[in-house]
């Protein structure tokens, strides 16, 4: 790791100079897609951390690709708010503030609740089995204390529901929203709930889909997203704003409930 001095202000910033991500393997996806996925995984696992300055050139070397797909991937991720590009310097992983977290969950409520309501009215064949499989995997990961695996299955459970809704663009939009808060992980764990409790919040959603109860499915998804969103907003307020903001007022202003 190197310390580089900014041109103005004379302050030093961390610039990571050692490899942080492994080379890419073979895949049918485009190189830019693979690079973006590798960066997302690096954020999720903690290999890429907020605040550190990373070189796009070194990232290309680490991944064994040219600079072009790295630039394309970084531009995509910058659009989602996951990274911030610094001209002629590199990029940083962006940690969202309380308002950004509230905005993300407001959008997720607007998108995911109507989808689960529609899906529960007529779930496609195999969906319920797939959802219970993800729940079992989440429970196993919770018992093992494996947050990374837990979050992967958490996301797959949500993805199953969204894709069952038949709108891939909507599912992709929610994936981008999750990218914004991905580095927070299940970060309410150990503060107000554990992994098992997070898994339990998904069970009413799955049961409602299984019993074809759209109202219950929508209610359960809303309760899960609101609970998670509020907790994360409170947490980020403590981390980034030193607890000085009125979080409930902020949530009401952005989300409205």
Q: What is the pLDDT of residues 153-183, one digit of tens each?
A: 999 999 999 999 999 999 999 988 887 787 6
Per the confidence metrics, is the pTM higher than 0.85?
Answer: no
Among candidate residues 55, 72, 93, the one where a domain is terminated? 93
Residue 228 CB neighbours (<10 A)? 20
Residues 119, 210 share a domain: yes
Per-residue pLDDT band for 4 (boundaries 50, 70, 90) equals: very low
Residue 220 is part of a domain; what is its CATH number?
Answer: 1.20.120.530
Residues 121 and 212 in one domain: yes
Domain boundary among 59, 93, 127: 93
- Tell whether 237 and 127 lie within a shared domain: yes
Averaged pLDDT, 85-111: 92
Q: Quick one: 85 and 123 in the same domain? A: no
Same structural domain, 126 and 165: yes
Q: What is the CATH number of the domain that holds 77?
A: 1.10.10.10
- Contact indicator for 240, 97 with CB cutoff of 8 Å: yes
CA dihedral of 82, 89, 2, 83, whole degrees rounded to 10? 0
Last residue of a domain, one of 65, 93, 121: 93
For the chain, the average pLDDT equals 85
Residues 172 and 123 reside in one and the same domain? yes
Structure confidence at residue 240 (pLDDT): 66
- Domain that residue 130 falls in: 98-254
Pick the closest to residue 184 from 231, 124, 119, 227 (CA basis). Answer: 231
């Amino acid at each position: 790791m190197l310390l580089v001095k900014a041109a103005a202000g004379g302050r030093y910033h961390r610039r990571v100079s050692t490899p942080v991500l492994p080379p890419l393997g073979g895949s049918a996806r485009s190189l830019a897609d693979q690079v973006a996925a590798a960066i997302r995984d690096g954020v999720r696992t903690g290999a890429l951390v907020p605040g550190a300055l990373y070189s796009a050139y070194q990232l290309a070397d680490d991944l064994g690709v040219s600079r072009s797909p790295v630039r394309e991937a970084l531009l995509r991720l910058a659009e989602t708010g996951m990274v911030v590009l610094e001209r002629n310097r590199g990029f940083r992983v962006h940690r969202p503030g309380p308002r950004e977290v509230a905005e993300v969950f407001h959008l997720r409520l607007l998108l995911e609740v109507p989808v689960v309501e529609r899906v529960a009215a007529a779930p496609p064949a195999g969906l319920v089995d797939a959802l219970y499989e993800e729940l079992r995997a989440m429970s196993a990961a919770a018992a093992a204390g494996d947050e990374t695996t837990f979050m992967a299955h958490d996301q797959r459970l949500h993805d199953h529901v969204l894709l069952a809704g038949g709108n891939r663009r909507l599912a992709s939009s929610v994936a981008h929203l999750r990218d914004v808060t991905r580095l927070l992980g299940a970060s309410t764990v150990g503060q107000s709930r554990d992994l098992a409790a997070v898994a339990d919040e998904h069970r009413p959603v799955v049961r409602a889909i299984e019993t074809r109860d759209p109202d219950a499915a929508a209610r359960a998804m809303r309760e899960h997203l609101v609970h998670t969103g509020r907790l994360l907003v409170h947490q980020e307020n403590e981390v980034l704003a030193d607890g000085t903001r009125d979080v409930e007022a902020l949530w009401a202003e952005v989300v409205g409930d």
